[in-house]
Structure 1
């Protein structure tokens, strides 16, 4: 769920507002300022309107919180105790994008992104009718990816990520 916050400031008040936003990203905010500590997305728009600045802040909480609350309309759409397929695919797209970008910028991907991608990959192959004939090969690549990560073999990890990317492209072309 997104929280919206709008405020009108002078240009001189803007640095104090930005400091307040920085504090809200580190610590629980004071007063009625949105909590940014667990935000998935923060959108900030600042518009100068005749010398007055209109500041609009939109803070979106982590998507997984919705799945965990049990009060969500998506709860009824999950099958056999699995999260809704569309949500799983969105999570996988996010974690894979972070891994892929990190590797192609010659840096080590975040541990959490790798863990989440591997976990979600194992879940994804439990959904029938979404490329079942490729699941065995995909699971082998996931095993190779996990093994390379645990052994700190970034070369093998990178090669496996590229192979997974190729397989994803092929699968989405054939089954989407």
Structure 2
């Protein structure tokens, strides 16, 4: 495993102890593995989550490694072709910026006016960056990208009602994702 998720079930106490010994050796650079049944190498990670459950047939172990922010930033910029956030690109900064811009868009639409082109362009650019970021709701990204495309098309055609409808869809998807991942 190098980033991503992995799980094991039906582990004995001895297997679990070997796993944790190997894991404790990893930061020290020790490569000898006493438990070959585990394919565990967290690689270069930012966050490592370990879930352990005692079950009737032993233990179940779930591991999730998240890659460093710098790597995710590079992925996001490569996929979107933008480089203006280089160096200070942070997921939380992106979320705050998107929240502010989305609020401006929603307020304009609630007042029956189209939002400004600059705020829409910036919001959609940030949306592309956000959906390129791994491990923060990947399963919602495709539907969100489609809703962003529909919003852009409605905005470009100056269709206020379609903008309102697609904005509501963006809001619904955002709420579902945030309810699950916050």
Scaled by the length of structure 2, the TM-score of the pair is: 0.52
- How far, CA to CA, are the matches of 1:77 and 1:144 in structure 2? 29
Partner of 1:3 in structure 2?
none
User: Which stretches in structure 2 are left out of the alignment for 5+ residues?
Assistant: 1-67, 78-88
Partner of 1:150 in structure 2?
156
Say yes or no: does 1:140 pair with 2:130.
Answer: no
Partner of 2:7 in structure 1?
none
Partner of 1:32 in structure 2?
none
CA RMSD of aligned residues (A): 1.6
1:169 to 156, 172, 175: 175
Say yes or no: does 1:92 pair with 2:101.
Answer: no
- How far, CA to CA, are the matches of 1:102 and 1:157 in structure 2? 10
Alignment deviations for residues 5-26 of structure 1 (CA, whole Å, 9 cap, x no partner): xxxxxxxxxxxxxxxxxxxxxx
Say yes or no: does 1:111 pair with 2:117.
Answer: yes
Alignment deviations for residues 56-97 of structure 1 (CA, whole Å, 9 cap, x no partner): xxxxxxxxxxxxxxxxxxxx9543435211111111001000
8 Å Cα contact 1:125/1:135 also seen in 2: yes
Scaled by the length of structure 1, the TM-score of the pair is: 0.54
Alignment deviations for residues 135-173 of structure 1 (CA, whole Å, 9 cap, x no partner): 110110011011111111111111000111111111110
CA 1:167–1:77: 2 relative to 1, 3 Å: closer
8 Å Cα contact 1:148/1:157 also seen in 2: yes
Higher relative contact order (CA 8 A, sep 6+): 2
Say yes or no: does 1:160 pair with 2:163.
Answer: no
Matched position secondary structure for 2:104 = helix
